[in-house]
Amino acid sequence: MDLIIKSEMQGMTVKEILYSILHLSHGQVTALKKNEEGIILNGERVTVVCRVVQGDILTLALEDKDGDVNSDIEPVNIPIDILYEDDSIVCVNKPSGMPTHPSHGHHYDTLANALCYYYKEKGRAFVFRAVNRLDSETSGVVLIAKDRHSAFVLGKALQRGGFQKEYYALLEGELMKDGIIESYIKRRTDSIIFRCSEKEGIPSEYAKTEYKVLCRKKGNTLVKAMPYTGRTHQLRVHFSSAGYPIKGDSLYGNADDRLMLHAFSLSFNHPVTGQRLSVTADAPEVFSDYL
Among candidate residues 64, 72, 86, 135, the one labeled active-site is 135
- Give the residue among 179, 265, 274, 191 at the shortest CA–CA distance from 233: 191
- Interatomic CA distance for residues 86 and 70, integer angstroms: 20
Cα–Cα distance measured from residue 204 to residue 199, given in angstroms and rounded to the nearest whole number: 9
User: What sign does the CA torsion over 9, 15, 16, 18 have?
Assistant: positive
Instruction: Determine contact, residues 209/180, Cβ cutoff 8 Å.
Output: yes
Residues in the chain: 291
User: Does residue 135 carry a catalytic annotation?
Assistant: yes
> Which residues are annotated as catalytic?
135
